[in-house]
């Protein structure tokens, strides 16, 4: 199997079984033993098609008649993605490989159709994508469903919506956070650069953007726990909590553990952290990560955050509730999230409210509750927090201090948009329980 076939097969698996593209493709790459160069090309094609589906279909529309087999549609989209959005790929290679793929994944007749369409499409320059700022034009140009474009235009205006949609289609950088329990930023950077990793400092101190990482788990600096992978925005709930050594902390939706690890770091590995999650299997990653990072104050618990055990009621200084959400703030890393429909995520505020109610029961009088998500929808963010405060008058929003460049948040809640600092999109709210 070569790169283009792996990409198409992964796309078909995603369409058929709603699998995550990264998981589907990595499974194929491991099974087939593709080398680094072929693997990189497969990943670029697979992500490129998902990020640019509407644009690919726009280019194909004048030449396609009737419905296409799923395999043929995926092959054509992958070829157009190479032609329109990927540099240094000869048109002849994209077209010829697509025809051969159609022979093996569909049939000879389909191969003739693919050949005819792509020959006609490459015979002249690709037409410009729609340039307007209306929902339909933005939807095609940046391949986001029109429903989501219509959601963000009133919130952000045309210019910022354009910035966000464009950034969602940019490559997602690897972000390393320095584990100050084991290394200084200078020591961690030196160790990574010695292994050929190209680094650039990010807006938040102690974080680096990285290129040429290869397999991250193979890096000595990662294996020895000098760094861990975390986006700066995902770290904000831990910073907002005000955790200090000696505290008792609950991370109630903890897996895969990034917030728990940073909380332990802020606490100087002194105190106790209970990392709870509904999914038992995911907690193994928390335990493994804690061991790698030299953290010994974390215990794990499989539990439903909406129904905490009575023994935990009112016992924690800090409870961090990073709730399940629609994930629209991390589209750059999981491009298929954009294809969730508003109907598919309509139930989430109810789920988030129940989890937040359960988390609140664990906060001691005078303690702190952090609510956060990696989505950008007010109905899952500020509206959930406001409804919670109406149900729980014993809580109130409280000002929080975040690291620069985010700074002070006097209102106690903040939405971080991806285009502000090229981080994930994130929402967080700090609340205090009355004594």
| Encoded tokens for 254 | 């903890």
| Encoded tokens for 201 | 């400092």
Residue ranges of the chain that CATH labels 1.10.940.10: 3-122
pLDDT of residue 49 exceeding 90: yes
List of E strands, 87-206: 174-178, 198-201
CATH number of 233-433: 3.40.50.150
CATH number of 3-122: 1.10.940.10
Q: How far apart are CA 268 and CA 264, in angstroms?
A: 6
* pTM (global) more than 0.85: yes
Q: Please tell me whether residue 410 adopts helix, strand or coil conformation.
A: coil
Q: Do residues 221 and 195 make contact, with C-beta atoms less than 8 angstroms apart?
A: yes
pLDDT one-digit tens code per residue, 53-94: 999 999 999 999 888 999 999 999 999 999 999 988 999 999
Strand partners, 273: 249, 298
pLDDT of residue 42 exceeding 90: yes
Q: Of the candidates 317, 430, 329, 414, which has an alpha carbon nearest to the alpha carbon of residue 371?
A: 430
* Choice among 81, 252, 374, 429 that is catalytic: 374
pLDDT of residue 214 exceeding 90: no
CA distances from 321 to 96, 285, 429 (A): 51, 19, 10
Q: How far apart are CA 268 and CA 433, in angstroms?
A: 25
Measured CA angle at 389 (ends 399, 359), to 5 deg: 90
Q: Do residues 265 and 248 make contact, with C-beta atoms less than 8 angstroms apart?
A: no
pLDDT at 171: 86
Q: Check residues 213 and 321 and name the one with the higher pLDDT.
A: 321
Q: Please tell me whether residue 244 adopts helix, strand or coil conformation.
A: coil
Give 180-185 contacts, CB < 8 A, sequence gap 24+: 180/206, 180/265, 181/225, 181/264, 181/265, 181/268, 181/269, 181/293, 181/294, 181/295, 182/224, 182/225, 182/226, 182/293, 182/294, 183/226, 183/227
pLDDT at 311: 86
Give DSSP secondary structure letters for 248-291.
EEEETT-TT-HHHHHHHHHTTT-SEEEEEES-HHHHHHHHHHHH
pLDDT one-digit tens code per residue, 239-278: 999 999 999 999 999 999 999 999 999 999 999 999 999 9
Residue ranges of the chain that CATH labels 3.40.50.150: 233-433
Average pLDDT over residues 405-428: 96
Q: How far apart are CA 427 and CA 178, in angstroms?
A: 23
Q: How far apart are CA 274 and CA 65, in angstroms?
A: 58
Residue 399 CB contacts under 8 Å (≥ 6 apart), including other chains: 408, 409, 410, 411, 412, 430
Q: Following CA atoms 144, 146, 151, 153 in sequence, which dihedral angle do they give, to the nearest 10 degrees?
A: 80
User: Is 374 labeled as catalytic in the residue annotation?
Assistant: yes
Provide the pLDDT confidence category of residue 309 given band limits of 50, 70 and 90: confident
Helices (H), strands (E): how many in the chain?
17, 14
Provide the pLDDT confidence category of residue 22 given band limits of 50, 70 and 90: confident
Please state which CATH class domain 174-229 belongs to: alpha beta
Q: How far apart are CA 82 and CA 94, in angstroms?
A: 7
CA 135 to the chain's CA centroid: 24
Q: How far apart are CA 260 and CA 263, in angstroms?
A: 5
Q: Of the candidates 9, 49, 12, which has an alpha carbon nearest to the alpha carbon of residue 29?
A: 9
List of E strands, 131-224: 174-178, 198-201, 207-211
pLDDT of residue 383 exceeding 90: yes
Provide the pLDDT confidence category of residue 435 given band limits of 50, 70 and 90: confident
Element (H, E) at 365: strand 363-373
Provide the pLDDT confidence category of residue 298 given band limits of 50, 70 and 90: very high
Q: How far apart are CA 122 and CA 80, in angstroms?
A: 9
Provide the pLDDT confidence category of residue 124 given band limits of 50, 70 and 90: confident
Residue ranges of the chain that CATH labels 3.30.70.1170: 174-229
pLDDT of residue 123 exceeding 90: no
């Amino acid at each position: 199997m070569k790169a283009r076939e792996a990409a198409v097969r992964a796309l078909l698996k995603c369409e058929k079984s709603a699998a995550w593209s990264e998981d589907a493709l990595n499974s194929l790459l491991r099974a087939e033993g593709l080398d680094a160069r072929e693997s990189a090309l497969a990943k670029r094609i697979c992500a490129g098609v998902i990020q640019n589906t509407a644009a690919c279909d726009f280019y194909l529309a004048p030449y396609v008649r009737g419905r296409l087999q799923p395999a043929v549609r995926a092959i054509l989209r992958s070829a157009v993605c190479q032609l329109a959005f990927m540099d240094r790929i000869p048109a002849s290679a994209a077209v010829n490989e697509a025809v051969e793929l159609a022979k093996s994944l569909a049939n000879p007749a389909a191969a003739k159709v693919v050949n005819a369409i792509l020959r006609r499409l490459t015979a002249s320059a690709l037409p410009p994508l729609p340039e307007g700022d209306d929902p339909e034009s933005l939807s095609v140009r940046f391949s986001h469903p029109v429903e989501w474009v219509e959601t963000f235009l009133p919130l952000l205006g045309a210019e910022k919506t354009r910035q966000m949609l464009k950034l969602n289609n940019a490559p997602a950088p690897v972000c390393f956070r320095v584990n100050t329990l084991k290394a200084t930023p200078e020591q961690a950077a030196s160790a990574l650069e010695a292994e050929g990793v190209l680094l650039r400092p990010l807006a938040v101190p102690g974080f680096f953007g990285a290129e040429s990482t290869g397999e991250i788990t193979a890096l000595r600096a990662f294996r020895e726990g000098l760094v861990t992978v975390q986006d700066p925005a995902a770290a904000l709930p831990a910073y907002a909590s005000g955790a200090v050594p000696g505290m008792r902390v609950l991370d109630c939706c903890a897996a895969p553990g990034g917030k728990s690890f940073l909380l332990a770091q802020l606490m100087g590995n002194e105190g106790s952290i209970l990392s709870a999650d509904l999914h038992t299997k995911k907690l193994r990653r928390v335990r493994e990560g804690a061991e790698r990072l030299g953290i010994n104050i974390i215990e794990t618990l499989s539990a439903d955050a909406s129904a905490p055990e009575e023994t935990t009621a009112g016992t924690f200084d800090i409870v961090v509730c990073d709730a399940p959400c629609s994930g629209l703030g991390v589209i750059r890393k999981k491009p298929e999230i954009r294809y969730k429909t508003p109907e598919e995520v309509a139930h989430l505020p109810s789920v988030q409210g129940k989890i937040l109610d359960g988390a609140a029961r664990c906060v001691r009088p005078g303690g702190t509750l952090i609510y956060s998500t990696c989505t950008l929808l007010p109905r899952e963010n500020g509206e959930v927090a406001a409804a919670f405060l109406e149900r729980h008058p014993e809580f109130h929003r409280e000002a929080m201090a975040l690291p620069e460049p985010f700074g002070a948040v006097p209102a106690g809640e903040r939405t971080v948009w991806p285009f502000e600092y090229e981080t994930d999109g994130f929402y967080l709210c700090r609340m205090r329980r009355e004594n």
